[in-house]
Structure 1
């Protein structure tokens, strides 16, 4: 016991001698948040079922409906706007003396484009007029020759009759012994000469009639010689008119920057181009799988990249005779062992129905074409057959 008491005293002394400790800071206890009530396991399972089955089913059903009711409108961006391009050339050769156009100018049908020196063609027309007059005069001379041949025939017929009477008289006298035989021979010779002259006159009538085309009463301008001269004159007059070249249609002049006065041009040589704005169409290359229900006459809408958001009405005019590969320079040889099936494209021509829009469009523009075929995809054939079997 003494030992224990001694230890307690020593401990008390040490506590008295130790420095005083500062008072401990008050401890703040954070309020405890009550835990959220745990949802029942059945609700969690219902949410998972909704996400895993109902939502995908709804998406599949919606996509199927869109697919079945779709397919009516066939669209392609592989399309370009086209306009007729006419090469302008002169029908006559000569030197250019007048140019009334410039590059990219809009012209109307009938406007003068340029003119060739007309003086050589005026001279040629005057020569043709003179040839016509000469041909008509020649026909009149042929008529006179025919009349002369007729008169000669009558004269020779009279001569034959006279020679015949002289021969008959000489023969009668010779038979009676009054006239010498030499007189009879002379009369016979005169008769033969008269007959020969008559034959020549008759042949002259045939020749003169043939020169008049077989018809002595033919009109002068119906004679072949005159008709040939008139045709030559018409050709000369046509050449003179063609020295002034006019626009064949409404359009825009292209590639005429180097066309100037003084240039010599040959007949039929292309000089520049005229893009006809009135003849506008669209060539759209659709996939072969898009042409199932496409037919000429169906309505379509065309959007040109130049005018975004603006649509032009059009009509399907024709479907190409074959794919582009069939008309290529080197068609594919599918008989080789390296054959790979590739979806082909077939050109479809569409005609613009908006006449006012044609002036704003230019050939070569990129376009997007949408054709209303009027036929949706509908249910697949296997489902239709199954439905028909159940109905039976």
Structure 2
């Protein structure tokens, strides 16, 4: 009987040891996950822009093809520049003609101003002569009763006074006419400013007719060719900014404690799991779309699909990781990735692209 009990006890020990080892392994895994959160709910991301012409016109040169890599400043496409070149030529010709008109008008204005000044001087002379004739008449009239002057002398003085007064009135009228005839060039100068603005617009439109790459990138979604009529502000294709690559990883909210911008991370892509890339957390999302509970949130927030709708699961938030040295031949927008955050690791690491 003792032998049977001994054998039973010996059979239990391996099972007990296995359970203990399993628990220890589980504790180790949980601690590792706490120390280095990991997720395969991640994808490669890069900034993109829509390449749009800022002027209307027919595409006369398409210098790129779909999925081509381009450098900053490379020619992407050229809109027919002839309408904008003609507008610039017309504007410059109008400016030359207007400058000549302003020059001739200024000469005429100068002559009119000289004439007006001369007439004003004549007015002053006529005013002085009229004043002198009036004074002479006023002095002679009292002397007539005493016989010191004759009536003829007084009549001549009175006639002279009337004559000089008439000359003064005529000179004043001529001065008014001369002043009214002086027309400045202000209107022409204002018109010149309008022509200069039109020339600037024509030069800008001519520059817009040539579209160049604003940064190093890769052309995607190109679905047109030479001869197509391009409409201003309507996208022709998309340009991926290949200067900076990111991995957007969706981590559970319970794993975000201690994670902040600058936290080191290791990522690899499903297309080549053998390569590891180092990076840092660029930012952590502060909002995701929530379809439950009637919570109205902005439609632009990222939407994270929950996999278990019948139980309450932890929400996931996107963590944007900037990759330090990506393999440009391997990184594509939307590629599936795996991300491991390492909040306890200091330094940036230099093992980008290394094989493991």
Aligning the two structures, in what range does the TM-score lie when normalised by the shorter sequence?
0.7 to 0.9
Instruction: Tell me what 2:265 maps to.
Output: 300
How far did residue 145 of structure 1 move? 4.4
Name structure 1 gaps, 5 residues minimum: 1-37, 213-222, 333-338, 376-392
Q: Does 1:163 align with 2:134?
A: no
Which deviates more from structure 2 when the two are superposed, residues 265-274 or residues 177-186? 177-186
How far did residue 268 of structure 1 move? 2.1
Judged with a 3 Å threshold, the aligned counterparts in structure 2 of structure 1 residues 278 and 68 are, in CA distance, closer, same or farther, namely closer
How far did residue 245 of structure 1 move? 2.3
Superposition pairs of residues 32-51 of structure 1, within 5 angstroms: 40=3, 43-44=6-7, 47=10, 50-51=13-14
Instruction: Tell me what 2:210 maps to.
Output: 244
Q: Does 1:234 align with 2:200?
A: yes
Judged with a 3 Å threshold, the aligned counterparts in structure 2 of structure 1 residues 75 and 211 are, in CA distance, closer, same or farther, namely same
How far did residue 291 of structure 1 move? 0.6
Deviations 1:284-323 (A, max 9, x none): 2211111111110011111111112221211100111212
Task: Calculate the TM-score normalised by the size of structure 1.
Answer: 0.70
The answer to whether the 8 A contact 1:94-1:266 is kept is yes
Q: Report the structure number with the largest CA radius of gyration.
A: 1
Superposition pairs of residues 1-392 of structure 1, within 5 angstroms: 40=3, 43-44=6-7, 47=10, 50-51=13-14, 56-57=19-20, 59-61=22-24, 63-64=26-27, 66-68=29-31, 70-175=33-138, 176=140, 177-179=154-156, 181=158, 183-198=160-175, 201=178, 208=184, 224-257=190-223, 259-325=224-290, 326-328=297-299, 341-355=312-326, 357-374=327-344
How far did residue 59 of structure 1 move? 4.6
Task: Calculate the TM-score normalised by the size of structure 2.
Answer: 0.76
How far did residue 272 of structure 1 move? 1.8
Deviations 1:356-389 (A, max 9, x none): x1343111111111111219xxxxxxxxxxxxxx
The answer to whether the 8 A contact 1:278-1:358 is kept is no
The answer to whether the 8 A contact 2:289-2:302 is kept is no
Instruction: Tell me what 1:385 maps to.
Output: none
Judged with a 3 Å threshold, the aligned counterparts in structure 2 of structure 1 residues 211 and 200 are, in CA distance, closer, same or farther, namely farther
Q: Secondary structure at the match of 2:87?
A: helix
Q: Secondary structure at the match of 2:215?
A: coil
Q: CA RMSD in A?
A: 3.4
Which deviates more from structure 2 when the two are superposed, residues 230-239 or residues 50-59? 50-59
Aligned length: 320
Distance 1:170 1:296 in 2: 99
Q: Secondary structure at the match of 1:97?
A: strand
How far did residue 129 of structure 1 move? 0.9
How far did residue 71 of structure 1 move? 0.9
Name structure 2 gaps, 5 residues minimum: 141-153, 291-296, 304-309, 346-356
How far did residue 121 of structure 1 move? 2.1
How far did residue 281 of structure 1 move? 1.6
